[in-house]
Structures are given as C-alpha cells and as structure tokens.
C-alpha cells in the first residue's frame, strides 16, 4: 500500500514539470502514488508526461482532462482518485530534496491534531546562499527534521494533508476557480474541524512561484475577486499590537494565559506583534520554550526598554503608518488607558483583557473576524 498520494495539476510548462517529477523520483524512498492531472496541456507537455514511468517507490498515474479545469478541480480529481493515508498537493514548479516528503509525513504522524503540513521553502524566504545548491540547504535543515512551527494557514504549493482531514471537510472549494485563496479556505475549514496547520522545519522544497499563473493575463482581477470571497467567509486578517510588561511573563499562570491567547488569535489568522518590556533581548523561541508552547509563525516578539515603556509602546503604534495595526490589546488597565488617551492621534482601537480570564468567553467580533476576544474597550 502506498503511504502518500502526490497530486500535481499540470497546465503546460513542460520543462518545469519534467524537473519536478524527476526530483520526486530522485529523492523519494517511501511508497507513493504520483497522480498527474493534465489540464489540457499542449503537445510538448503531454510528451513529457507520457515519458514518466513508475519505479520501485513511485507509481505514476495520469488523468487527462479535455479542458483546463483550474487548480481546485484538478486537485479534487486527484484526491478522489487516491486512497493513501496522506495526500500531497503539489505545484509543478517545485523541486524535491532528499527525503523531504518522509520528513513531512513524520511530522504529521507525530501528533493526532496536525492535519496539514507545509515544508520549509523558498516561498518562506529560505533560499540557497552564494555557491549553495538546494540540496545544500536541505542538509543544513536536517538538524531540525523533527521540529515544526504552527501556521495560521498552509499554502498549496506543497501541502501535505492527512486523508482523514479530507474525509471530514472534503476537498478544495471549487468556488475559488483557477487559483488563489482555495488553500487558505481549506486550512480554515481544517482548523474548524480541530486540526492544526504547521511547517516541517527540516523538510525543504524549492518553489519557483507563480510560473503557471504567469500565463493568466487576468490574475490580478482573479486575486481580488477571490480575496473578497475569502474575507466574506472568514473575515479580514487582523494586525494586533500587544504591549506586555515583563512582570506578566514572570507570573507563570499569567504567562500561560497570555501565550495561550496569542496562539489562539494567531490560529485565526491574526498577526500578533508582541512588545515586551525587558532589560535584555528576548526571543520568541526563548519565551515560548520556557512556558511549554510550540512556536507560531504569526507571532513576532520584540524586546523594549523597561523604562518609559508606555511612551515606547505608543511610539511603535504611531510609526506604523503604511500598515497600521487594527487594534491594540493590553493586559494591564493602566497601560490600556494611557494608550487609549491618544486614540484621536493613532486612531487604533484599544482593548483591555483581564489576566485572570482567557480570551473567548463572552465573545465579541472585532473587524469582521470572530475568533476573538473577551475584551473591554477603553
């Protein structure tokens, strides 16, 4: 029995498709079924696809469509065809490195509530340095092959999904058409069903990005249309500024509450900008590890001088002119009141939440998103 189905929708791009599939053959040593969904490609691409032959680890199947059905429909065709415990949705402008798929599967198998896994990738800013190959990058990352970071949403360029997730929530929503936001919508539905989205830090897949969409002349129009559809369904992602005095983190119970709240908001596609008063630099990794939390990609933490912390926090809010925060979230009423006095200048709503209570009780909706918050507006 195969362990994983790899579903690759293909529309032309013969050279990229050939390089992608050859990288799978070269690096994969677990039993997989490669399902190529040809969306009515031209003769050159069809010739490349016909040249792929199964080997001891990779079984090749081809679905030939008479028209270009787009990404979501093609992926769903492949998902329905396969029955392996895992399904990797893969773009044809990607390149595998040694054992990357096995590392992703191992991460997914490590926890029952991990439902979707991305690899580390050029998509996330990890690229070969001068003189390096993508295989060199992969070797560097092997030190982290059991590590993972929680994401708010996974991206569909290389998205490993447990078959049980597909069984519970179905496939990609075909309302999104050819491309854009179908992967984010799928991730949100998976989280609603109780699963987590993560990145496997030790698995590396290189992604050229947007090569197929470069052939679509109206991709900006498509992006905006699908963005509007997605935000009607799930709300607009929020940018939340969270100033925090170090005394809160020194109180173990309070720190557990605050970090739990931050993770909950991040899972719901909020972007958290923590600003912590400290006499020495603090890293997110140190804070999360000390209090027993896994790192979450949507959370950034910056250390700030402990003296004049309120004015420093206010300055950080005021300097965010191009991409302003959607709200300020405080755990000390005095700090919330201080920042709230300057609302006519920064125009950013300020909320205060009691440290004794977790977010989520007596929920109110903020900015169209409804994960959120037991809050008292200042």
Q: How confident is the model at residue 261 (pLDDT cuts 50, 70, 90)?
A: confident
Q: Which residues pair with 36 in a beta bridge?
A: 8, 62
Identify the residue with better confidence: 335 or 3. Answer: 3
pLDDT score of 354 more than 70: no
Domain positions in the chain are 4-234, 239-377
Looking at residue 264, what is its pLDDT?
A: 85
Q: How far apart are CA 179 and CA 174, in angstroms?
A: 9
Q: Tell me the CA distances in angstroms from 107 to 137, 151, 194, one per residue in order.
A: 19, 14, 17
Work out the angle at residue 219's Cα, subtended by the Cα atoms of residues 215 and 220, and round it to the nearest 5 degrees: 145
Q: How far apart are CA 4 and CA 103, in angstroms?
A: 12
Q: Note whether 4-234 and 239-377 share their fold.
A: no
Looking at residue 235, what is its pLDDT?
A: 85
> How many CA atoms are closer than 13 Å to the CA of 86, on its beta-carbon side?
26
Contact by Cβ (8 Å): 18, 90: no
3-state secondary structure of 172: coil
Contact by Cβ (8 Å): 202, 87: no
Identify the residue with better confidence: 126 or 262. Answer: 126
SS in 3 state form for 7-57? EEEECCCHHHHHHHHHHHHHHCCCCEEEEEEEECCCHHHHHHHHCCCCCCC
pLDDT score of 363 more than 80: no
CATH number assigned to the domain covering 4-234: 3.90.550.10
Beta strands per DSSP E along the chain: 4-10, 32-39, 58-65, 86-90, 94-96, 114-121, 148-151, 158-162, 196-207, 239-244, 271-277, 299-304, 327-330, 350-352, 364-366, 369-373, 376-377
Looking at residue 109, what is its pLDDT?
A: 98
Looking at residue 216, what is its pLDDT?
A: 57
Contact by Cβ (8 Å): 229, 181: yes
The tokens of 187 are what? 């991730």
Q: How far apart are CA 263 and CA 299, in angstroms?
A: 8
**Tens digit of pLDDT for each residue in 133-167?**
999 999 999 999 999 999 999 999 999 999 999 99
3-state secondary structure of 205: strand
CATH topology assigned to domain 239-377: Rossmann fold (3.40.50)
Q: How confident is the model at residue 298 (pLDDT cuts 50, 70, 90)?
A: very high
Dihedral (CA of 93, 97, 101, 104) sign: negative
Looking at residue 352, what is its pLDDT?
A: 82
Q: How far apart are CA 284 and CA 297, in angstroms?
A: 10
């Amino acid at each position: 029995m195969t362990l994983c189905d790899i579903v690759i929708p293909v529309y032309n791009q013969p050279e990229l498709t050939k390089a992608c599939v050859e990288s799978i053959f070269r690096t994969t040593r677990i039993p997989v079924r490669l399902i190529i969904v040809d969306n009515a490609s031209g003769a050159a691409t069809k010739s490349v696809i016909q040249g792929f032959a199964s080997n001891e680890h990779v079984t090749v199947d081809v679905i030939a469509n008479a028209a270009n059905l787009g990404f979501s429909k093609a992926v769903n065709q492949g998902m329905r065809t396969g029955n392996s415990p895992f399904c990797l949705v893969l773009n044809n402008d990607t390149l595998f490195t040694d054992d990357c798929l096995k590392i992703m599967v191992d991460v997914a198998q490590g926890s029952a509530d991990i439902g979707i896994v991305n690899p580390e990738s050029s998509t996330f800013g990890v690229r070969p340095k001068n003189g390096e190959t993508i295989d060199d990058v992969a070797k560097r990352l092997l030190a982290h092959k059991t590590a993972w970071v929680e994401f708010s949403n996974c991206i569909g360029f290389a998205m490993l999904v447990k078959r049980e997730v597909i069984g519970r929530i179905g496939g990609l929503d075909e309302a999104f058409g050819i491309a854009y936001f179908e992967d984010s919508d799928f991730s949100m539905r998976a989280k609603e069903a109780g699963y987590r989205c993560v990145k496997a830090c030790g698995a590396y897949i290189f992604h050229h990005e947007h090569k197929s969409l470069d052939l679509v002349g109206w991709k900006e129009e498509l992006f905006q249309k699908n963005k509007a559809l997605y935000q009607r369904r799930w709300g607009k992602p929020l940018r939340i500024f969270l100033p925090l005095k170090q005394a809160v983190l020194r109180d173990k119970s309070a720190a557990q509450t605050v970090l739990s709240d931050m993770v909950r908001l991040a899972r719901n596609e909020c972007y958290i900008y923590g600003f912590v008063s400290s006499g020495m630099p603090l890293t997110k990794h140190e804070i999360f590890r000390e209090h027993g939390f896994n790192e979450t990609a949507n959370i950034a933490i910056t250390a700030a001088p402990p003296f004049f912390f309120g004015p420093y926090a206010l300055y950080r809010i005021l300097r965010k002119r191009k991409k302003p925060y959607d709200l300020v979230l405080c755990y000390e009423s005095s700090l919330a009141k201080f920042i709230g006095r300057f609302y006519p200048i920064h125009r950013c709503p300020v909320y205060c939440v009691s440290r004794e209570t977790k977010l989520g009780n007596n929920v109110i909706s903020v900015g169209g998103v409804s994960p959120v918050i037991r809050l008292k507006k200042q």
